[in-house]
């Protein structure tokens, strides 16, 4: 079980291939139904094989490029579990052997009373919601409103999504600024 303050990290080479993973990586993968991502199975794969959505990939590419050019890049984002909102901080730093070490730290958590299970379906025609990869808010197809998962699906249950990056996150509003304060 992962918790606040846990750090998950991996190192990638100039071709974005994963060379090493560590910290709470395995616990985090198992917590999030990521059995396929545990340990050695991801070594040698491209980080982009594990990221869904055109805009998310583009954002992440920029984040990595920024880390490589300025030697450090930092950003908050959300990585919710079905029953928990999680605010994360992502940081990319160049190592002495010119790899990039990307680390993710859980900084805050809030419970989701009625669990919301999210499945990425790959094609927009199959999805009922669009989900922002960075703030994890959901937009019902045909609506313009981006809402917290527990506001979008108040009774809980399953949603079928495709991933994108919402206008707030494209405008670099931080996930911390969008983080809902407990009432
Ligand atoms: Zn967003």
Token pair, residue 9, equals 């990290």
Give residue 19 CA to ligand 1 midpoint distance, Å.
29
Q: What is the pLDDT of residue 7?
A: 84
Q: How much is the average pLDDT of 25-41?
A: 65
Q: What is the pLDDT of residue 29?
A: 64
Q: What is the pLDDT of residues 70-85, one digit of tens each?
A: 877 899 999 899 999 9
Give residue 82 CA to ligand 1 midpoint distance, Å.
17
Q: What is the pLDDT of residues 145-166, one digit of tens each?
A: 999 999 999 999 999 999 999 9
Q: What is the pLDDT of residues 89-134, one digit of tens each?
A: 999 999 888 899 999 898 999 999 999 999 999 888 899 999 998 9
pLDDT at 17 over 90: yes
Give residue 135 CA to ligand 1 midpoint distance, Å.
4
Burial class (CB in 10 A: 0-12, 13-18, 19+), 124: exposed
Tell me if 1 sits within 8 A of 8, measured CB to CB: no
Alpha carbons 181 and 183: distance in angstroms, whole number: 6
| Mean pLDDT value across the chain | 88
Give residue 96 CA to ligand 1 midpoint distance, Å.
33
Give residue 97 CA to ligand 1 midpoint distance, Å.
34
Q: How much is the average pLDDT of 128-144?
A: 94
Give residue 40 CA to ligand 1 midpoint distance, Å.
31
Entry pTM: 0.81
Tell me if 82 sits within 8 A of 112, measured CB to CB: yes
Alpha carbons 100 and 10: distance in angstroms, whole number: 8
Give residue 101 CA to ligand 1 midpoint distance, Å.
24
Give residue 20 CA to ligand 1 midpoint distance, Å.
29
Tell me if 72 sits within 8 A of 171, measured CB to CB: no
Q: How much is the average pLDDT of 33-53?
A: 78
Distances (CA, A) of 16 to 20, 63, 85, 101: 12, 12, 28, 11
Q: What is the pLDDT of residues 46-69, one digit of tens each?
A: 989 888 778 888 888 999 999 999
């Amino acid at each position: 079980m992962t918790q606040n303050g846990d750090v998950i990290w991996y190192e990638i080479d100039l071709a974005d291939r994963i060379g090493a993973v560590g910290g709470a990586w395995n616990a985090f993968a198992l917590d999030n139904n990521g059995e396929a991502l545990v340990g050695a199975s991801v070594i040698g794969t491209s980080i982009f094989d594990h990221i869904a959505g055109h805009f998310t990939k583009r954002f992440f590419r920029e984040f990595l490029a920024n880390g490589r050019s300025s030697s450090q890049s930092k950003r908050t984002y959300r990585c919710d579990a079905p029953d928990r909102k999680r605010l994360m901080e992502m940081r990319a730093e160049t190592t002495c052997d010119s790899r990039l070490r990307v680390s993710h730290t859980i900084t805050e958590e809030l419970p989701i009373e009625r669990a919301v299970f999210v499945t990425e379906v790959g094609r927009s025609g199959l999805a009922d919601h669009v989900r922002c990869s960075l703030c994890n808010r959901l937009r019902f197809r045909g609506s313009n409103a981006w809402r917290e998962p527990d506001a979008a699906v108040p009774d809980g249950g399953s949603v079928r999504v495709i991933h994108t990056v919402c206008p707030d996150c494209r405008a670099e509003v931080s996930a911390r600024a969008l983080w809902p304060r407990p009432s």
